[in-house]
């Protein structure tokens, strides 16, 4: 087995992982490992942009209140304030690193408006390729200074005396690698691929959540999955995201009869919070369309979306695109403090895999890239000021107990869509828990990337269904048909889960649930 020693191990190469690697690499030996290709991530697909209150008519307090209103007042207000206060400085930092945002002819930066924002504060690049611009810029810098390991799946975090000392990885040939590190940073993204319709990149299967849970880290708010209202609805197999910025630029949602869908449904109409708009689209008996006829120079403003539409046979000249909701962003995750530290010493979490609490029950548009950048900066500053030595571990054989789920991945996705999707019930969630439990699953001896990934998906699906079953109210991205109202006693009340166990079957029996 190969063995590697590094100051900092970053698992994942999206914007948060790349940013923390960039900021640490001048003083630390940093290794970035990814199960797919370097830079392949949700961040690369991010269309809309990055939010920051920099306009004269804007302020961090406006951004703060927009964020907590969208989050249905479930946010960690202290860290939400930190997020929005740091926004303008982070934009400057990205520009200094070489990121190019779209500008007017006079050199002023363009800013657009998206759902639940009270003012135009979204910086964008290439019209609708902001994430790509940021990721490519950071990749060029990071790959010159850091060790990059591609196509390696993390089997599990390695633990010693309750502390994280690195991780074990495996490649496509089944060769194992042990990486010892002083600090290990999860930047693996969310869990969108647990659903059949999603905006997420193919590799986003909840791996970081699963490995953190098995290590004993505390996870929170896994019931809050955000469904983006406007995924392309004309293809059941290859849907794609149509940015909320399209509605910010004048796009209107129409019923099949040509009526405005959001008329009388919310005072912000088509720019209402995502959970509100998504449920209205789902409740329509027939297809909902996005009318782009009033969007000025649509193809120039949104070249990526226009290209995708054309490749699927959409006649843009007709001015309408069929849309449907799809799994987009997980508000819950591995619980962290303001510098990204988890409940396990030596383990950090950044980006969508983390639960900072800044998104509450429903993320405000274009706050995700901002979160990744802000907390990567906070984490790197703390790590540089706090020395921790590498503990060299040795692993003769993997402790990981891999079980073969009885259901296929597609069956898992259908269960998640039907029972842990946009509308949930006690009976449906109970059925999901029965189907996802591990009692009769077969123990598998040979570790393979695909098997580990599938195992992680089932484990995270079970965790999400359990959390959804326990929250007996509706709030943001979590809607219970049998508990349709918000309850004051559930405001900022979090479902925490985590206990160290060697295998999932035992963890299901011993896993603790704490209401916080």
Q: What positions carry a catalytic annotation?
A: 274
Give the whole-angstrom CA distance, residue 8 versus residue 28.
7
Contacts (Cβ under 8 Å, ≥6 apart) of 504: 214, 401, 403, 438, 455, 459
Number of residues in the chain = 516
**Beta pairing partners, 387:** none
φ, ψ (nearest 5 deg) of residue 40: -75, 115
Dihedral sign, Cα of residue 164, residue 40, residue 460, residue 349? positive
Nearest to 409 by CA among 202, 170, 214: 202
Query: Kind and range of the H or E element at 186?
Result: strand 176-186
Contacts (Cβ under 8 Å, ≥6 apart) of 317: none
Give the whole-angstrom CA distance, residue 52 versus residue 60.
8
Give the whole-angstrom CA distance, residue 317 versus residue 161.
63
Q: How many CB atoms lie within 10 A of CB 507?
A: 22
Contacts (Cβ under 8 Å, ≥6 apart) of 40: 13, 34, 201, 203
Give the whole-angstrom CA distance, residue 66 versus residue 62.
6
Strands 513-515 and 495-497, sheet pairing:
antiparallel
Rg (CA), the chain: 22
Give the whole-angstrom CA distance, residue 401 versus residue 499.
16
- What SS3 class is residue 230? strand
Give the whole-angstrom CA distance, residue 22 versus residue 497.
32
């Amino acid at each position: 087995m190969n063995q590697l020693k590094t100051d900092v191990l970053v698992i994942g190469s999206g914007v948060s992982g790349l940013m923390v690697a960039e900021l640490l690499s001048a003083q630390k030996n940093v290794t970035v490992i990814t199960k797919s290709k370097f830079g392949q991530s949700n961040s690369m697909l991010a269309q809309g942009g990055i939010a920051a209150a920099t306009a004269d008519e804007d302020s961090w307090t406006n951004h703060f209140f927009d964020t907590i209103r969208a989050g249905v007042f479930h946010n960690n207000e202290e860290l939400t304030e930190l997020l929005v206060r740091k926004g303008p400085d982070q934009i400057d930092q990205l520009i200094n690193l070489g990121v190019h945002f779209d500008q007017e002819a006079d050199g002023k930066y363009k800013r657009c408006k998206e759902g639940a924002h009270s003012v135009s504060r979204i910086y964008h690049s290439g019209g609708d390729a902001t994430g790509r611009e940021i990721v490519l810029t950071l990749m060029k810098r990071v790959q010159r200074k850091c060790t990059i390991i591609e196509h390696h799946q993390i089997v599990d975090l390695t633990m010693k005396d309750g502390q994280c000392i690195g991780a074990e990885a495996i490649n496509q040939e089944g060769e194992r690698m042990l990486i010892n590190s002083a600090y290990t940073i999860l930047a693996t993204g969310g869990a969108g691929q647990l659903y059949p319709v999603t905006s997420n990149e193919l590799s986003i299967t909840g791996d970081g959540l699963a490995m953190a849970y098995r290590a004993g880290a505390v996870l929170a708010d896994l019931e809050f999955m955000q469904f983006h209202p406007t995924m392309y609805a004309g293809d059941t197999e290859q849907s794609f995201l149509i940015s909320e910025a399209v509605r910010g630029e004048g796009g209107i949602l129409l019923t099949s009869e040509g009526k405005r869908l959001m008329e009388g449904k919310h005072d912000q109409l088509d720019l209402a919070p995502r959970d509100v708009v998504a449920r209205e689209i789902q409740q329509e008996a027939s297809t909902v369309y996005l009318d782009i006829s009033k969007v000025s120079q649509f193809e120039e403003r949104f070249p990526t979306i226009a290209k995708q539409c054309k490749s699927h046979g959409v006649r843009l000249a007709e001015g309408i695109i069929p849309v449907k909701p799809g799994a987009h962003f997980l508000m819950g995750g591995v619980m962290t403090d303001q510098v990204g530290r988890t409940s396990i010493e030596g383990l950090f979490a950044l980006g969508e895999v983390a639960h900072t609490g800044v998104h509450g029950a429903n993320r405000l548009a274009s706050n995700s890239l901002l979160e990744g950048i802000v907390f990567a900066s906070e984490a790197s500053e703390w790590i540089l000021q706090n020395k921790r030595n590498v503990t060299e571990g040795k692993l003769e054989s993997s402790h990981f107990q891999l079980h073969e789920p009885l259901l296929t991945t597609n069956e898992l996705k259908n269960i998640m869509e039907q029972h842990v999707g946009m509308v949930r019930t006690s009976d449906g969630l109970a059925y999901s828990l029965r189907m996802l439990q591990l009692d009769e699953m077969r123990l598998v001896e040979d570790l393979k990337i695909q098997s580990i990934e599938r195992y992680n998906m089932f484990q995270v699906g079970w965790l999400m269904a359990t959390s959804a079953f326990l929250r007996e109210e509706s709030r943001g991205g979590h809607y219970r048909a049998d508990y349709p109202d918000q309850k004051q006693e559930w405001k900022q009340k979090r479902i925490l889960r985590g206990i160290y166990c060697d295998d999932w079957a035992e963890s299901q029996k011993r896993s603790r649930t704490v209401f916080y």
